[in-house]
Structure 1
Amino acid sequence: MSTGGTLIRPRPINESQSAIENVLELTQLSDIDPDLFTNSRPLWHPPGARGIYGGAAIAQCLSAAQKTVPENFTVHSMHCYFILAGNSEIPIIYHVERVRSGKSFATRTVQARQRGKVIFTTTLSFVRQNSGGEKKVEHATEMPNCPGPVEGMDDLDHGGSPTGPFQSQRVEILNNDSPHPHTKKCRQWMKARGRISDAGGHEAHLAALAYMSDSYFVGTIARVHKLWRYSAVRKGNTKSSIDEDVLKKLLAMDDEDLKRVKFVDQADLQRIRRLRNGEDVSEEEPPPEIGMMVSLDHSIYFHNPRDFRADEWMFTEMETPWTGDGRGLVFQKMFSRDGTLIASCVQEGLVRLRQPGDSKL
């Protein structure tokens, strides 16, 4: 019987684990099938979003698959599709299929289901450690030079809550004044809050990285195009990317606080400042406004999967080479604090503008 977001009543928070480990904890349904898992705790539904935070499905599918491969196998890639919006009030069942278990590579597929319907699916490939041979072809792009993170400072993430499972700090958009969106780069620092337990092993760090990799990923398109994203939720299934409650919180902040919010850009700041001051913006030419923005697919290539800690600062840089026909593509590179490239990610998302005549509440 469902207990509101979980199939089994959640256990007390494990104080020996980090927040992100508790969020991503799975329960194995071994009495039914050893390859069935379910979320142990309710999943986060971002304000104004159509469903649960996509990073949770990505990370929990990875966690489930990792439990079905030998210890000396490590994930090197996963390719995901978002099928339906997940409901945070309904448990998710993860079914792992052992497609192939070879000497050097293993393949797993995972389907995430709610009420019998597939909401998310992914195929993962694992490689045996040190199977590449003694001599290797090696190269890696270097981490860009940018300001480092500031200890003790945390952007308002997870709907304005400072207690989410990870911290993030926005860095100013590179080439933000360029008229060419494809030349801009959105950058941020992020890390899991607290310390990931030794018992979690490298698997916990990989799951945490997967969770954080979806942080404002497709939102890169809105940022480089300077689209307005803070209107109230409309009728029907189409929602703005940020709902009215978050807009109210933004209007209550002063300029210094607003500058630390990673999803607020300079164009947003100017308009929020005018709204906060009670200025009449009704006759202004309204900026283009996001009508719907959701992820369609998500790929991660893990480059140094056992050589980083997700509870230490990681740098990410995102850019979008193309947007059109109601969709957009974003690339992301993720580096450890010492400059090691640890993952490359690709995401395509649905990006539709609010059209004239769309109804409001």
Structure 2
Amino acid sequence: MADRTDRSTLLRPPPPDPNKAPIENVLEVTEMAVLGPNIFTNTRKAWHPPGARGIYGGSVIAMCLAAAQRTVADDFLVHSCHCYFLLAGSSEQPILFHVEQVRDGRSFATRTVQARQRGRCIFTTTISFVREGSSGSPQSQVSHSSAMPSEAVPPPDDYDGEPEMMKQSPFQGTKIEVIDPNPGSSDKGERKTRQWIRARGKISGGTAAHLEALAYVSDSYFIGTITRIHRLWRFPFNPEAYENLAPDLKERVRTLHAWEGMGEDPRDMMGQPTLGMMVSLDHTIYFHEPKRVLADEWMLTEMESPWAGDGRAVVTQKIFAKDGTLLATCVQEGLVRLQQPKPEGAKESKL
């Protein structure tokens, strides 16, 4: 068992496998048959992003998918994944993934997975699989697909343009681009964000590992699209305080601000609304071309929001392969609240 001072995994974490891509090590799950059938646990500690309420949601989505894929036949491929975030997960506690074999048909199989910590369900998903080739020949099917934006050009294979602070992620990416077809328009629903991404290293675990990697990255910057299209200030201090930051912190804030597509100078955000709270509520992935997902090659994510209101927002995402194939469509709803004015006489918090 793991050392008593480390409760982040149920078993002692093995050293990373150098023959696998970093994302494969991050998402590895271990079957716990001693606890019952179809129960798995995280092999390594889950990532808790700085400033977040809990562990990164994409890792839970992907590990649930990893567990579910272990319970279906090899010729069944995931085509949809419907998820709900229920409680903030802790990176200091092991996660148990309970897979229920809801249905096994000739063409489709269904699994539900609950991710639990301390006996409480923190996340639940229903995943549907389809048997490869069960729909007949391509000539007997209707077919169409959204096209990748013609102006989107993937970075070179030797791209190394990330800031140093971004290089610890198992995924590599480019600076987020905010597309505004009508500059100056008040219609935020017309704005889009685009980013090229790929897993670092070479994924060795076949189609299942590539699909898990796509599920992981699908949650990256997703509901945060709202902060970009509405230009919301998200740091825990006012833009006016930017000039008074220590030089190293000031540079870090400037780098993050620019990388996320918000502009080169954080001082331009003076007078903009401030984000108070943002939490993902649910997440859906439709895998269109599972056999063509190569997550260690460049993929384009394009995000936009058809609606926001009543303290919530919906964001849609298209993920394209670099050859233009539409690999997946994702939808997420999240809680979005602006920071409310402080009561008169309240003290300003110190940095």
Q: Which TM-score applies when normalising by structure 2?
A: 0.89
Structure 2 counterpart of 1:238: none
Structure 2 counterpart of 1:166: 171
Identify if the C-alpha distance between structure 1 residues 299 and 97 changes in structure 2 by more than 3 Å, giving closer, same or farther.
Answer: same
Task: State the Cα distance separating 1:38 from its structure 2 match.
Answer: 0.4
Identify if the C-alpha distance between structure 1 residues 153 and 293 changes in structure 2 by more than 3 Å, giving closer, same or farther.
Answer: same
- Partner letter of residue 179 of structure 1? S
Instruction: Tell me which of 261, 281, 297 is aligned to 1:296.
Output: 281
Structure 1 counterpart of 2:100: 97
Instruction: Tell me which of 260, 263, 270 is aligned to 1:263.
Output: 260
Would the aligned equivalents of 2:116 and 2:122 in 1 still touch at CA under 8 Å? yes
Q: Distance in 2 between matches of 1:105 and 1:308?
A: 20
Asked if residue 320 in structure 1 is aligned to residue 320 in structure 2, the reply is no
Structure 2 counterpart of 1:152: 159
Task: State the Cα distance separating 1:174 from its structure 2 match.
Answer: 1.0
Task: State the Cα distance separating 1:164 from its structure 2 match.
Answer: 1.1
Aligned residue for 1:306, secondary structure, equals helix
- Partner letter of residue 347 of structure 1? Q
Instruction: Tell me which of 67, 74, 78 is aligned to 1:75.
Output: 78
Structure 2 counterpart of 1:192: 199
- 1:163-222 residue CA offsets vs partner (Å, 9 max, x unmatched): 21111113421117343110001000001011001xx11000000000000010000001
Structure 2 counterpart of 1:65: 68
Instruction: Tell me which of 114, 119, 123 is aligned to 1:116.
Output: 119
- Partner letter of residue 287 of structure 2? F
Structure 2 counterpart of 1:13: 16
- 1:126-181 residue CA offsets vs partner (Å, 9 max, x unmatched): 00000111211111010012242243234449xx3412111111342111734311
Q: Distance in 2 between matches of 1:321 and 1:149?
A: 28
Structure 2 counterpart of 1:132: 135
Q: Distance in 2 between matches of 1:196 and 1:253?
A: 31
Identify if the C-alpha distance between structure 1 residues 258 and 68 changes in structure 2 by more than 3 Å, giving closer, same or farther.
Answer: closer
Task: State the Cα distance separating 1:50 from its structure 2 match.
Answer: 0.3
Q: Distance in 1 between matches of 2:71 and 2:222?
A: 29
Identify if the C-alpha distance between structure 1 residues 222 and 250 changes in structure 2 by more than 3 Å, giving closer, same or farther.
Answer: farther
Structure 2 counterpart of 1:51: 54
Structure 1 runs not aligned, ≥5 long: 234-245, 275-283
Instruction: Tell me which of 206, 209, 212 is aligned to 1:207.
Output: 212
> How many matched pairs?
331
Identify if the C-alpha distance between structure 1 residues 253 and 49 changes in structure 2 by more than 3 Å, giving closer, same or farther.
Answer: closer
Q: Over aligned residue pairs, what C-alpha RMSD do you find? A: 2.3
- Percentage identity across paired residues of the two chains: 53
Structure 2 runs not aligned, ≥5 long: 239-244
Structure 1 counterpart of 2:31: 28
